[in-house]
Homo-oligomer: A and B are copies of this chain.
Amino acid sequence: MAIKALTLDTGGTILDWHGGISRAFAAAGARRGLQADWHEVTNEYRRRSLKGMVGQVHPAFNFDDVHRRVLDEVIAHYRLDALTAEDRDVIWRTWHALDAWPDFPAAQARLRRKYIVASLTLLTTSLVIDVSKKNDFGWDAIISCEMIGIYKTRPESYLTAAKWLQLDPSEIMMVACHNFDLNAARENGYKSVFVKRPAEWGPSGPPDPAPNPAHDLIVEDFPELATRLGA
């Protein structure tokens, strides 16, 4: 069946969370005279946050809540207790003000001329709205797992998105820089595109950089994706 919609992971695929959050940590640390490997602190923050959110079913919290809770945990773990309540608030709010990877906004506009282009994300609806206004994204829809109530990589998250789009899963391509998300989408009938994001985790590189060769497309960046899809 022909592809009619692209659903895009947003956290690492569209947003440079490592750059934004590690800079926020470093700035707060400098204010309090703290030394740390801010890249490592940032990646541990991300790992623990993802672990708290992936696969949740009707949680009483959302990803912003997890980011707030885990921030305190990570600060305690690295003995960065000199970071004040105000510092923590500034770091936490940075999630809603992240920059996009620069290849995305113009390519998104190309893709939207031919396809429905929707965010399908673990992040909160409000976060995606805020970063989209800041970075000039235009979505045909934001379909957050917060709205679905069931989080990736649970089958219901992909199947509900397809239901709301009124498409068969085989008419939808999941786009992400992570095999775990794409593999789960494929298991639920979606097509898959792996977009490489070698800088997603900063200098240490991503934990799972090699695309599963089963993906329908593997691309270096979003302009290549638009070109490969004829958009």
B-side contacts of A140, CB under 8 Å: 129, 132-133
Which of the four size classes fits the interface of chain A?
A: 20 to 34
Query: Is A141 within 8 A of B125, CB to CB?
Result: yes
Shortest A167–chain B CB gap in Å is: 8
Give complex CA distance A165, B62 in Å: 12
Give complex CA distance A116, B139 in Å: 13
B-side contacts of A57, CB under 8 Å: none
Chief secondary structure at chain A's binding surface: helix
A174 interface residue per 8 A CB criterion:
no
Partner of A166, one of B126, B132, B139, B165: B126
B-side contacts of A133, CB under 8 Å: 112, 116, 140
B-side contacts of A147, CB under 8 Å: 143, 147-148, 164
What are the interface flags for A53-65 relative to B under an 8 Å C-beta threshold, 1 for contact and 0 otherwise? 0000000000010
Give complex CA distance A175, B112 in Å: 27
Partner of A146, one of B126, B144, B164: B164
Count chain B CB atoms within 10 A of each CB in A138, A140, A146 and give the residue with the most: A140
Query: Is B164 within 8 A of A141, CB to CB?
Result: no
Give complex CA distance A141, B164 in Å: 14
* Residues of chain A having any CB pair with chain B under 8 Å: 64, 112, 116, 124-126, 128-129, 132-133, 138-144, 146-148, 164-166
Known contacts A64-B166, A126-B166, A144-B164; 4 additional CB pairs below 8 A are A125-B143, A129-B141, A132-B140, A141-B142
